[in-house]
């Protein structure tokens, strides 16, 4: 019998093969798994041997679909568990590929070679620094109707999927002259315009320009943490949706003033740490300002604000949930990537970006309440 390492490696190979075929070939892929692949048969034998009673019971609800015909019902359930593992591995592969540093060999830059020259360059004390290989200068591309589809060279590209298109669209409308950078998905380039997905309207919070000076963070001090608890849907539907549908668990906020004229903040929203695909994708905002102590927030300007995802895999998920930004550095993400960056904008814009980027409305409103202002979001 194969080892767990051999099984996981085989599952990733099957997931990669499914990705190459595309979504439209899923049923054909499934139909060809059983009876035509010795490796798949070996994987299912292993999966059956390690399956728990809970897993086998959960798979039973899929038997009526008809895939994997076999007189042995337990064997059919094991085939379904194998397919679930392939799908989970596929989620991992897609996210890994979407977060990979930009490279000229990626489909995006094969289709639009000149776009590689528009990768953001890091600031350096001696002038322009090295490319960050994560973000594209937004002024060199054009969104189609403020959607996730962008005109790039003679073709089209899409935003990285964790970044909703109304974020760059709003930032462009409000801060057209500010330096803005966003992440396009490096895995694809389209000769013809692809379909645009439907998006719900963004709900922005009230403008907190009247907030107190930056020397005070009521209720927050240097750190705040907001935990989402399970609840009865009849008692609080918004909290129930955030917990069960959006799978959010915690929001952490930390602020640190290293110098009288330098303040930085980091805010991370963490989802449930036990998704079956083995991933926990945190949403993170980082910002800094040179505003002096006591500067009214309405008058302060951010040097930059960026939106990123931190991907924790396997045991790192529980380690991160046990850690806290209150204690300083937390465990490193398995991998991460920046999705959006904008520079030299008013400090209060933070709250609009946070409202659009984070998933939990409940935790966001709790944070605003601690800051002593309310919102209708």
Domain boundaries, given as residue ranges, for the chain: 4-99, 107-182, 223-370
pLDDT score at 277: 85
Tens digits of pLDDT across the chain (377 residues): 789 999 999 999 998 888 776 655 677 777 778 877 889 999 999 999 999 999 999 898 888 888 888 889 999 999 999 999 998 898 888 888 888 999 999 999 999 999 999 999 987 666 678 999 999 999 999 999 999 999 998 999 999 988 999 999 999 999 999 999 999 999 889 999 988 876 554 444 444 443 456 654 444 446 788 999 888 888 888 898 898 888 999 999 888 888 888 889 999 999 999 988 889 999 999 999 999 888 888 889 999 999 999 999 989 999 999 888 776 677 889 999 999 999 999 999 999 999 999 999 999 998 888 777 544 44
- Name 340's bridge partners: 182, 307
Angle at 263 between CA 261 and CA 318, to 5 degrees: 160
* Contact between residue 308 and residue 338 where contact means Cβ atoms under 8 Å apart: yes
What pLDDT does residue 98 have? 83
Strands (E), the chain: 119-124, 127-137, 142-143, 149-152, 155-158, 180-182, 223-227, 248-259, 262-271, 279-289, 301-313, 335-346
The tokens 């814009």 sit on which residue? 349
Q: Please, what is the end-to-end C-alpha distance for the chain in angstroms? A: 55
User: What integer pLDDT is reported at residue 285 of this predicted model?
Assistant: 97
* CA geometry: angle 328, 365, 215, nearest 5 deg: 50
Residue 120, classed as helix, strand or coil, is strand
Q: How far is CA 115 from CA 13, 146, 161, 186, 375, in A?
A: 31, 20, 19, 11, 40
What is the C-alpha to C-alpha distance for residues 32 and 18, in angstroms, rounded to an integer? 11
Q: How many CB atoms lie within 10 A of CB 178?
A: 17
Distances (CA, A) of 181 to 84, 88, 304, 340: 36, 31, 11, 6
What burial letters (b/e) apply to 236-263, b meaning 16+ CB within 10 Å?
A: eeebbbbbeebbbbbbbbbbebeeeeeb
């Amino acid at each position: 019998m194969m080892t767990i390492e051999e099984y996981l490696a085989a599952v990733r190979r099957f997931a990669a093969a499914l990705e190459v075929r595309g979504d439209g070939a899923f049923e054909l892929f499934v139909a060809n798994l059983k009876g035509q692949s010795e490796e798949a048969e070996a994987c299912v034998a292993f999966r059956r041997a390690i399956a728990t009673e809970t897993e086998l019971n959960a798979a039973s609800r899929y038997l009526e679909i008809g895939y994997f015909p076999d007189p042995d019902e337990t064997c059919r359930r094991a085939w379904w568990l194998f397919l679930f593992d392939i799908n989970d591995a596929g989620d991992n592969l897609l996210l890994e590929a979407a977060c990979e540093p930009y490279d000229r060999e990626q489909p995006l830059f094969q289709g639009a070679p000149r776009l590689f020259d528009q990768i953001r360059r890091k600031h350096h004390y001696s002038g322009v620094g090295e490319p960050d290989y994560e973000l594209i200068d937004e002024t060199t591309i054009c969104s189609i109707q403020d959607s996730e589809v962008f005109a790039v060279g003679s073709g089209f590209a899409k935003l990285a999927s964790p970044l909703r298109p109304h974020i760059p669209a709003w930032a462009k409308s409000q801060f057209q002259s500010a330096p803005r950078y966003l992440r396009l998905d490096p895995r694809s380039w389209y000769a013809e315009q692809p379909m645009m997905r439907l998006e719900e309207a963004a709900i922005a919070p009230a403008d907190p320009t009247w907030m107190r000076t930056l020397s005070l963070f009521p209720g927050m001090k240097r750190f705040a943490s907001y935990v989402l608890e399970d609840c009865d849907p009849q008692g609080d539907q918004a909290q129930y949706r955030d917990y069960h549908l959006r799978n959010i668990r915690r929001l952490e906020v930390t602020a640190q003033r290293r110098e009288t004229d330098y303040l930085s903040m980091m805010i991370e929203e963490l989802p449930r740490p036990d998704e079956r695909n083995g991933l926990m994708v945190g949403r993170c905002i980082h910002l800094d300002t040179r505003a002096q102590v006591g500067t009214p927030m309405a008058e302060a300007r951010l040097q930059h604000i960026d939106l990123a995802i931190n991907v924790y895999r396997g045991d790192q998920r529980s380690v991160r949930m046990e850690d806290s930004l209150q204690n300083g550095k937390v465990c490193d993400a398995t991998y991460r990537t920046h999705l959006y960056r904008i520079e030299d904008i008013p400090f209060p814009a933070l709250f609009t970006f946070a409202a659009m980027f984070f998933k939990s409305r409940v935790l966001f409103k709790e944070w605003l309440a601690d800051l002593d202002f309310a919102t209708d979001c």
